[in-house]
Structure 1
């Protein structure tokens, strides 16, 4: 007998003079069975404020952004972990954009409900409304977060309103026949609970028609009472069938529960992939150069070490690495490749970069010019900045993790320590790096167990660039050797100009600041450091010699102009 799966129906209706100018957004996504078992189905509604020039964009962004990222989270994450991380990352992006705007904002209320198995999970921010109709019982299951200012009601605790996001979370068992209503704050003061029940039950088989009835009734009631009735929207979701408890799948079955591959050697085959060479063997992972026997594509396979136990913290993090890299779209960050057939073992595939590590490149090009080295530094800065734009920390930037292809393209690889910023806390992020081992380019805060963040990556990037320009480290005592905060006094910066006279004073000062042992004293933003890495427009003029324009030439030109004007003035006076 085929097991019963979750099944639902939904209907929607907008009440607005121009649907394309509304400030609300709603959506339902019901994925195919494999994804449905791991992630469930989603229903969302968002609403922005009336006095917002970006109201429509804000509403659409929160809904589309959640759906795009939630279903891409690792299969072994539970619903609460997946949704919470996606919402916080989306809120961080909205808040950062709002700080740069003056005529609108990406602030919106949002209610998202995930239906997985026999349970519903509600995530709520702001003042959107969610109700449940079970039999004759109609109740509101979301809380209104509003603030009264000058007679107007504004949402509070909404998406994009603050750097920290407070999310109301609730889980509840589902029953067949449950109906959930999603609507906005505009409906307050129009319909009574009895009106909702009557209008929905009038013909519950057609949920679109039920939403239209709700919209028409709400508009008429608003007009009778003198309310603004031109911005209503309603969404109904009905649970038609629930899976059997015995047949309910657990999250992670598709990916997280796969076995670790055995030790592989050149010539071995796994899931239609032939091992061409072994690139790396460490205590935590194995990296292989492989070829897909079906397509002929050459790729890089990364798998956990066969010696790892199921409780190892690195193994838990390994499950996140593919998802982490998939979030970043940049030519300077290695791409994830999809396998041509289902995986039977735990691994992921990356694009194969035909090139060499930065350490190998530096050994082969000892006479490379300063401009070449700064070009590499700027490309690497773009790679790190692409990670930071997705709220990710790399945490292991050093020459062996940077690849350069035959065309001079820089690609950042190895995401074994990559972590979502400020999601699991600094302690877990530091612990992951310490388990993998600190490098001579690690920021001092890792050794001293202080808070880490984007400026920690800035330090590692600057240390790698300093090494690229000079062949040495910026401090006689490597930061990974620090034992206490008093050891910081031993970190005396060695000027890059003493090791490479081609380094300008401005560039040396920028490196000094990015490499400050105190994290708070480094550049606030990666973009500031990247600007400081750009070579001067006229290096010859910066050096004070040999240029198309001689020093003092502009002064002599204007002195000549002033002399001519003075002469004309004297002549006009004499000829009166």
Structure 2
């Protein structure tokens, strides 16, 4: 199996100074984290005028690597590294020393790079550098954040200077044999590109070449600390397949199963449903007698790699989400020969069935269910995931009233998407009546897309109808947000409060920029009237607030006017 392989070599010295305030480190895990999180390299150059510059450099380099690997594997590189860097920056900025002017005494440049799949992610602040040596040419990938003052370079950006960190983020596509050169300014300020290229192509290990670069800069008069770190891309994984989609060729799709049959130690005790896409069975594990759900893909999709990759990814998603409102999925046996999920068995009914049984529920009944559903979706949001198929059929309600979100086959895992590790989706996924407009039009999704779907479900729970007028014809894909024509709640139920219509109207805005920005905001307005929205509506002209009432009033006025004219004739 092709895996990411990196080579490291570095050297650092204090040069003519009394203390070395540079720091560097690099790491590539040997376990599955190499696939999930990738490798990391970082260099920092502590600011010499600060009493704790060396401590700042060492802290930022070591903690960046350690803390990055502690972030959830579902997070994107941008989110994970960004969280770590902003936390480190706050720590450095807070180390004031009033004996030295009251400013932070922990300031350092930072240049870090995460190598994940076939992509490189660069995070940079300051004047240390990352340069790529590819095809015999050097390309500087970072920008020096300095200004020239009095003949000297003064840092305009670095870790610890300000409470808010402004960090450059750059993405690069990796190629085999790429060589990334990390240097502090004590090196690159004294060496030409021609000299660096000559030293990089000379014989010797990466560590020897890094030392030669430092030594040459020192020989040419460097008056600063000197550090050079080299990272070589020795092997790249396949860019077009994630780990789960690679199993497609290895695992067989099980045949249709019947009560009494066994599949790798699980005995079928009930067929829950047989659908066109998948089947679900209630099973018992013969080893411990525990009851589970067993889900298998349909033979109809045996030649559909996108569907099968999604089916296998569903298992991975379910294992990384631990919440009582999300259906649990458990790991298959290592030697499994068939494609299936072992999941939590949910004894209850779908939300669709609940809606049929409760055609005109109270707002309190709806809130009780939706609050739990949003709890589940907030867990996905924190994991950098978007469900993309929230609908009544994918929500289960147990006999005890507990809500469970199910079916993760369409979940967008941003950590996989950022490295192009997902199969290309040629058609949109999810149920068209619940899909957010931005996904249909722009193929983009966020937690606000799931919020739109939730609001659609709420509207349907309350009214039995969908919130928008039907499109021109079935399966029509609109080209503009203006084609979604919202229908007020009072068209179907006059007993519901007007402020609820305002809440749903906002959550169902076709343009995501006009929707609620957070689930907590949405839940708040589902619980009580938003006075700000009510005041805004009251200030609008009657024609905008209630066109029907406006035209009724206009007709009455015209009738009165006509009567008055007739009376004077």
TM-score greater than 0.5 by the shorter chain? yes
Contact 2:77 / 2:121 at 8 angstroms: preserved in 1? no
CA distance in 1, matches of 2:21, 2:284: 51
1:460-479 matched pairs, under 5 angstroms: 460-475=453-468, 477=470
Look up the SS of the partner of 2:466 in the other structure: coil
Cα 1:91–1:10 change in 2 (3 A) is: closer
Per the alignment, residue 113 of structure 2 pairs with 111
Contact 1:378 / 1:534 at 8 angstroms: preserved in 2? no
Per the alignment, residue 566 of structure 1 pairs with none
1:405-484 matched pairs, under 5 angstroms: 405-420=398-413, 431-433=427-429, 437-438=431-432, 440-443=433-436, 449=441, 451-454=443-446, 455-475=448-468, 477=470, 481=474, 483=476
Matched, 1:45 2:37: no
CA distance in 2, matches of 1:296, 1:475: 48
Look up the SS of the partner of 1:508 in the other structure: helix
Per the alignment, residue 550 of structure 2 pairs with none
Contact 1:66 / 1:86 at 8 angstroms: preserved in 2? no
Cα 1:30–1:97 change in 2 (3 A) is: closer
CA distance in 2, matches of 1:286, 1:386: 26
Per the alignment, residue 255 of structure 1 pairs with 247
Matched, 1:301 2:325: no
| CA RMSD between the two structures | 5.8
The match for 1:150 among 129, 139, 147 is: 147
Look up the SS of the partner of 1:168 in the other structure: strand
Contact 1:430 / 1:449 at 8 angstroms: preserved in 2? no
Matched, 1:268 2:267: no
CA distance in 1, matches of 2:255, 2:370: 38
1:181-330 matched pairs, under 5 angstroms: 187-189=187-189, 221=218, 225-227=222-224, 229=225, 234=229, 255-258=247-250, 259-330=252-323
Contact 2:481 / 2:510 at 8 angstroms: preserved in 1? no
Contact 2:210 / 2:230 at 8 angstroms: preserved in 1? no
Per the alignment, residue 343 of structure 2 pairs with 350
**Per-residue deviation at 1:141?**
6.6
**Per-residue deviation at 1:162?**
8.0
The match for 1:532 among 507, 525, 531 is: 525
**Per-residue deviation at 1:399?**
1.6
Cα 1:499–1:55 change in 2 (3 A) is: farther
CA distance in 1, matches of 2:203, 2:474: 68
**Per-residue deviation at 1:508?**
2.8
CA distance in 2, matches of 1:190, 1:180: 19
Per the alignment, residue 565 of structure 2 pairs with none
Q: Deviations over 1:322-365 (max 9, x none)?
A: 33444545443333311244221223333333433223445566
CA distance in 2, matches of 1:282, 1:95: 47
Look up the SS of the partner of 1:300 in the other structure: strand
TM-score, normalised by the number of residues in structure 2: 0.63
Per the alignment, residue 546 of structure 2 pairs with none
Cα 1:370–1:58 change in 2 (3 A) is: farther
TM-score, normalised by the number of residues in structure 1: 0.62
**Per-residue deviation at 1:299?**
3.0
Per the alignment, residue 485 of structure 2 pairs with 491
Contact 1:289 / 1:299 at 8 angstroms: preserved in 2? yes
CA distance in 2, matches of 1:305, 1:28: 42
Q: Deviations over 1:15-70 (max 9, x none)?
A: 79xxxx999663423425xx59x959954213468689998887567645765789
CA distance in 2, matches of 1:25, 1:379: 46
Contact 1:330 / 1:386 at 8 angstroms: preserved in 2? yes
Matched, 1:335 2:339: no
Structure 1: gaps of 5 or more residues: 74-84, 244-248, 538-576
CA distance in 2, matches of 1:41, 1:271: 32
**Per-residue deviation at 1:256?**
3.3
Look up the SS of the partner of 1:513 in the other structure: helix
CA distance in 2, matches of 1:323, 1:261: 19
Contact 2:301 / 2:308 at 8 angstroms: preserved in 1? yes
Contact 1:129 / 1:184 at 8 angstroms: preserved in 2? no
**Per-residue deviation at 1:395?**
1.9
Q: Deviations over 1:434-468 (max 9, x none)?
A: xx652x4334566x645543333222101112233
Look up the SS of the partner of 1:172 in the other structure: coil
Matched, 1:506 2:496: no
Per the alignment, residue 170 of structure 1 pairs with 174
Per the alignment, residue 552 of structure 2 pairs with none
Contact 1:47 / 1:108 at 8 angstroms: preserved in 2? yes
Cα 1:458–1:95 change in 2 (3 A) is: farther
Cα 1:252–1:221 change in 2 (3 A) is: same
**Per-residue deviation at 1:401?**
0.8
CA distance in 2, matches of 1:401, 1:54: 49
